[in-house]
A = this chain, B = another copy of it.
Amino acid sequence: MDEFELIDRYFSGRGARRGDVPLGIGDDAAVLAPPAGRELLLTTDTLVAGRHFPADGFPPDAIGHRALAVNLSDIAAMGGTPAWALLAIVLPQADEAWLASFAEGFSALAERFDVALVGGNVARGPLSITVTAAGFAPQGQALTRRGAQAGDALVVTGALGGGAAGLRAFFQGAAVQAAPVRAYAHPEPRVQAGRSLLSRAHAAIDISDGLLGDLGKLLYAAEGLGAELEAQALPLAPGASREDALGPSDDYELLAAVPEREMPAVEASLEGPLFTRIGRVTPTSGIRLDGRPLAGAGFRHFA
């Protein structure tokens, strides 16, 4: 079975059916109809076996879910609505059971977020998956990392440290269906939360490299500012320590800087306690936890 047949069998027509896809997978390129008056968001992210997910024993459907989820999380962090995805798989052999399971995990998430799979590539090599996701945002309103102001509240979605705790549980032998591992294996892109921050937050980012690492990037983009975090306020995922919540953890929650005047609207915008206030932006640089200085440190891919 060649690449052409593999894509045809496992990926053609997967994900959502959308009216803005005149031509999907199967030609040299997809033909798409972006909506008038909105900006297009594009992002790409790679998962490498043994680095971004366990090389052994990790189920292909979870790899499929994660590969799409980390990209939808980037669209969510911009306040966007996802629409289309392209999928490039490098895998050692044409393992049909693997591909069927991978496609299932990918497609289930895509359908849930109304994302059409419009492009695919399969090549032979060491396992890695690169997804490109596209979405839309209202003209001139996409949230960026830049723009946090002193006095802004810092809020996060969901709970933190679940990625680190889940991965640890997996390596300790917990089943993939067990709650902590599931949080790692099936992160939920915070698309609705991101949209609710549009025209309210000053800045937003997704927490893919750990809270301190990504908060550091938000502050780097707001030159000279710092942050004060409250340890008690950090929402910890089941099984997660405070160190898990602060350090490198594949959580894919959102972190946003929200002016106080918008906080009531943000807190009222979603059902349940999805947003948690964890601190505030300060006029002086550096990150402090309960008043003690911390050094920002993210996931240093090449450290």
Binding site for B on A (CB under 8 A): 1-4, 6, 22-23, 26-34, 36, 39-52, 73-75, 77-78, 80, 84, 86-88, 90, 93-94, 118-126, 128, 130, 132-135, 137, 140, 142, 144-146, 205-206, 217, 298-303
Contact = CB atoms under 8 A, between A and B. Distances in A.
A2 to B, nearest CB: 4
Contacts of A28: 43, 73-75, 77-78, 145, 205-206
Given A124-B48, A298-B4, A39 B31 contact: yes
20 contacts: A2-B298, A28-B77, A28-B145, A29-B75, A31-B40, A31-B41, A31-B78, A42-B86, A44-B88, A44-B121, A46-B88, A46-B121, A47-B123, A48-B124, A49-B125, A88-B88, A90-B128, A122-B301, A123-B301, A124-B301
A240 to B, nearest CB: 23
Nearest to A77: B28
A157 to B, nearest CB: 14
Nearest to A214: B28
A34 B88 CA distance: 24
Nearest to A94: B302
Contact of A302 (B1, B133, B135, B144): B1
